[in-house]
């Protein structure tokens, strides 16, 4: 369980960095799309961030 928690923390940190970079310059993280904007950054990376955060919180609740 500790390895899974560490993996979720690393993925959450990486996604947070990509989210911030995408809010600064969307082309950095959405280079494969024809049209990049901050709303799409929030749609892609914000959704992933929320899913990872909920998984991490549920894992912490189950461990305690």
Give residue limits of the domains in the chain. Answer: 2-63
- pTM greater than the 0.85 cutoff: yes
Q: Quick one: pLDDT band at residue 41, thresholds 50, 70, 90?
A: very high
What's the confidence (pLDDT) of residue 19? 97
Cβ–Cβ under 8 Å, residues 41 and 32:
no
Q: Where are the alpha helices (H) located in 1-64, listed in sequence order?
A: 2-24, 38-41, 47-63
- Tokens at residue 10, please? 């690393």
Compute the distance between CA of residue 14 and CA of residue 49 in angstroms, rounded to an integer: 9
Q: Quick one: pLDDT band at residue 64, thresholds 50, 70, 90?
A: confident
What's the confidence (pLDDT) of residue 61? 94
Q: What is the pLDDT of residues 6-40, one digit of tens each?
A: 999 999 999 999 999 999 999 999 999 999 999 99
């Amino acid at each position: 369980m500790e390895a899974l928690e560490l993996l979720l923390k690393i993925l959450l940190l990486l996604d947070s960095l990509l989210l911030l970079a995408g809010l600064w310059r969307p082309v950095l993280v959405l280079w494969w799309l024809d049209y990049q904007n901050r709303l799409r950054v929030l749609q892609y990376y914000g959704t992933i961030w929320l899913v990872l955060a909920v998984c991490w919180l549920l894992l912490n609740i189950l461990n305690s």
